[in-house]
């Protein structure tokens, strides 16, 4: 497109025409009016935010127009390096960067070159003329490439095997980016492998530095391999290297034979991906590839260090910061780029960021780092990648076939967009639940919780996942089954968090709380049983057990103890049903965890806690001394559920050190009666 586009969709005027209040014909520098006035191309220029800074006495030189060629479809446009940045006066006000920092490339696009690299509270700091690439940094990066080649020789076949399949990654929605990155780095590693000299590594590192210093240019269309060409060959960047390292790390982590050598290698590859991201940060880059690399880093941090680790929390914060810096929290309704696949990739990144943010906040009991109050939410379209990357006519046809809620009407799921659409809807309501759980207790909380439960149930009925019977495989492919089960867990666990606030309000609420807990645990167990058939990744199974199964199993164990101590009370669920579910989870903690995984220690601790607690509850003839912990307590009379709480069974009930510590870990400490459940934090 010629010139720049304003936020309202109108085309912008050049600076001379804007300042003189003349109508601009929006021509290429110089425009027609400026040409008649004798202005040169350097005097007729377009400013992206003309009202954001003080007027200058001297005009700023306009960047040169990018030239394009007919073949290949992607032309390489070099942005000015840091050394080429002209000296500009420091602005007096804060510039609001309202546009994307990632440029589009097309045959008719004006390649405006961003001059400002550091935004401060007092204005814009110019890019430093100092070259950050010194001998020490170059040496470190050469070592990174040497290690990556060594790992490529040993395990590169894992990535090549994944590239040869049509189902590359149906979960996160970054298949397009990961495929392009892996193909590009695989090709580069093959070239290095043929002649692995130190000079070759140094030359490649210098090329990566040169490319990464330039602004990322993405094609408006991915047809004919345009996207792959923009990242490969002479266009290879450090972001691409980091994406490859993160994908290889993920494949090693989910390997069925995770030896000690592979465990060490996964940590090294994680560090490699982080190093690549740090290099890009030093070079002042922030773009789509960086955002997806940070999303990959978050997933790897949970796998390597655990979901409650500082590494995972820090990675989640970096994703949130980058999302805001790119202004993707503002939505894409006014996107004038004309790039369908890039818009959808960004919508998917936003959906994933919300999902990760709410899951992490829920797990550790901290406030979310991405707020829905400051976000304009655009759901990803429920359209397959094949349509997204195909002809524009097919995209229009598929979009027109969606129902009034934006879902497909053929009772099939689009991977990964169907999952991401539902995930984002659930994440927004989970944030409302977290606001209630993490804020100070208020008399209005129960009413607000019921309102959110109603919204959650209404939303769920609009999704295609609510129409399938999870206990039947009729009409469902294996992927449809596992996706449906995952989404059912996400929906029910959000409901579980809300019912936690309501569990002491009435007998009906308490019953619903126990039933939802059991339903979540049953679905998790069904996923674990079908792991081999559905090829679910082992770290994801550990995450599922830790995040969803263990809190709900703890609630069921408390309920089982209540039934044991108060046999005259009506059972919400049969004791045998609860015992079978908890026993199955104990077995799964042994089957689906491996030493060295991030959540291994927590899974083994759960196995020991649940085993001992279940044994003591079932040991009706055991001693009643205080040393027996859970089973050795005398019961007291239980009051009704008419708004009154159950009395504590005895002071010694929480004396069992392991059980008490376990309840504390999940925010259930000391909660053996209904009035305590209302004060649980969100850390389950």
pLDDT, tens only, 389-415: 778 888 889 989 898 888 888 877 777
Helix ranges, 365-468 (H): 385-388, 392-400, 417-438, 445-462
Measured distance CA(644)–CA(637) in Å, rounded: 13
pLDDT, tens only, 483-524: 888 899 999 999 999 998 888 778 888 899 999 999 999 999
- Across the range 109-126, mean pLDDT stands at 40
Written as six digits, the tokens of 440 are 């100070």
Task: List residues bridging with 120 in a β-sheet.
Answer: 123
3-state secondary structure (DSSP) of residue 625: coil
- Across the range 11-15, mean pLDDT stands at 83
Task: Please spell the DSSP secondary structure of 82-127, one letter per residue.
Answer: GGGPPP-PPPSS-----S-SSEEE-TT---PPP-EEEEETTEEEEP
- Across the range 280-301, mean pLDDT stands at 93
Per-residue pLDDT at 602 exceeds 60: yes
Phi, psi of 219 (to 5 degrees): -70, 150
- Residue pair 463/425 in contact (Cβ under 8 Å)? The answer is yes
Per-residue pLDDT at 203 exceeds 50: yes
For 465, other C-beta atoms within 10 Å of its C-beta total: 23
Task: List residues bridging with 5 in a β-sheet.
Answer: 11
Please give the share of the chain, as a percent, with pLDDT higher than 90.
29
Name the least confident of 132-136, 200-204, 519-523, 593-597. 593-597
Measured distance CA(426)–CA(135) in Å, rounded: 49
Buried b / exposed e over 500-517, threshold 16 CB at 10 Å, is: bbbbbbeeebbbbbbebb
Written as six digits, the tokens of 139 are 């040496």
- Residue pair 9/34 in contact (Cβ under 8 Å)? The answer is no
DSSP letter, residue 632: S
Going by pLDDT thresholds of 50, 70 and 90, the confidence category of residue 258 is low
What's the maximum distance between 2 C-alpha atoms anywhere in the chain?
102
């Amino acid at each position: 497109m010629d010139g720049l586009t304003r936020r309202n969709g109108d085309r912008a005027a050049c600076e001379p025409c804007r300042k003189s209040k003349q109508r601009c014909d929006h021509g290429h520098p110089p425009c027609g009016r400026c040409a008649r006035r004798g202005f040169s191309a350097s005097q007729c220029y377009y400013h992206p935010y003309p009202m954001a800074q003080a007027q200058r006495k001297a005009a700023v030189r306009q960047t040169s127009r990018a030239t394009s060629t007919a073949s290949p479809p992607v032309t390489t446009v070099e942005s000015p390096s840091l050394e080429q940045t002209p000296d500009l006066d420091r602005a007096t006000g804060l510039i609001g960067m309202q546009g994307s920092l990632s440029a589009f490339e097309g045959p008719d696009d004006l390649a405006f070159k961003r001059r400002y690299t550091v935004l401060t509270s007092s204005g814009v700091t110019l890019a430093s003329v100092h070259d950050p690439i010194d001998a020490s940094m170059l040496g470190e990066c050469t070592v990174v490439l040497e290690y990556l080649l060594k790992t490529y020789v040993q395990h590169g076949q894992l990535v090549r095997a994944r590239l040869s399949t049509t189902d590359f990654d149906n979960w996160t929605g970054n298949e397009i980016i990961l495929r392009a990155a892996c193909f590009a780095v695989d090709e580069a590693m093959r070239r290095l492998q043929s002649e692995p000299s130190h000079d070759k590594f140094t030359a490649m590192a210098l090329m990566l530095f040169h490319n990464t210093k330039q602004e990322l240019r993405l094609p408006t269309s991915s047809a004919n391999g345009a996207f792959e060409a923009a990242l490969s060959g002479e266009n290879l960047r450090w972001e691409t290297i980091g994406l490859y390292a993160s994908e290889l790390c993920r494949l090693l982590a989910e390997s069925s034979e995770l030896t000690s050598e592979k465990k060490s290698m996964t940590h090294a590859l994680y560090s490699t991906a982080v190093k690549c991201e740090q290099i890009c940060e030093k070079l002042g880059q922030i773009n789509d590839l960086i955002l997806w690399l940070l999303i990959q880093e978050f997933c790897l941090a949970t796998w390597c260090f655990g979901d409650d680790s500082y590494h995972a929390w820090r990675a989640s914060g970096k994703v949130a910061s980058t999302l805001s810096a790119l202004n993707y929290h503002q939505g894409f309704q006014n996107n004038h780029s004309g790039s369908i696949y890039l818009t959808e990739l960004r919508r998917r990144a936003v959906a994933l960021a919300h999902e990760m943010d709410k899951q992490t906040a829920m797990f550790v009991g901290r406030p979310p780092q991405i707020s829905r109050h400051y976000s304009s939410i655009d759901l990803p379209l429920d359209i397959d990648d094949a349509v997204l990357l195909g002809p524009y006519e097919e995209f229009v046809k598929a979009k027109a076939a969606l129902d009034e809620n934006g879902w497909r009407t053929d009772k099939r799921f689009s991977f990964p967009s169907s999952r991401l659409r539902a995930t984002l809807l659930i994440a927004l309501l989970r944030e409302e639940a977290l606001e209630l759980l993490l804020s100070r207790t208020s008399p209005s909380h129960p009413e607000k919780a019921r309102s959110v439960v109603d919204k959650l149930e209404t939303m769920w009925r609009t999704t295609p996942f609510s129409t399938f019977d999870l206990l039947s495989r009729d009409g469902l492919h294996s992927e449809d089954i596992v996706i449906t089960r995952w989404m059912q867990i996400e929906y029910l666990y959000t409901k579980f968090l809300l019912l936690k606030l309501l569990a002491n309000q009435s007998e009906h609420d308490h019953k619903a709380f126990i039933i939802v807990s059991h339903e979540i645990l049953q679905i998790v167990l069904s996923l674990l049983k079908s792991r081999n058939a559905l090829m679910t990744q082992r770290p994801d199974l550990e995450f599922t057990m830790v995040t969803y199964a263990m809190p709900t199993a703890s609630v069921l164990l408390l309920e089982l103890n209540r039934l044991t101590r108060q046999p005259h009370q009506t059972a919400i669920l049969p004791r045998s049903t609860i015992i079978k579910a908890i026993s199955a989870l104990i077995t799964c903690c042994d089957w689906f965890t491996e030493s060295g995984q991030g959540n291994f220690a927590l899974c083994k601790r759960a196995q020991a806690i649940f085993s001992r607690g279940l044994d003591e509850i079932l040991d009706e003839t055991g001693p009643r001394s205080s040393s027996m912990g859970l089973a050795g307590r005398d019961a007291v009379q239980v009051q009704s559920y008419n708004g009154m709480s159950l009395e504590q069974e005895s002071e010694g009930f929480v004396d069992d050190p392991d059980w008490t510590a376990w309840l504390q870990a999940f925010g259930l400490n000391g909660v053996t009666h209904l009035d305590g459940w209302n004060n649980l934090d969100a850390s389950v």
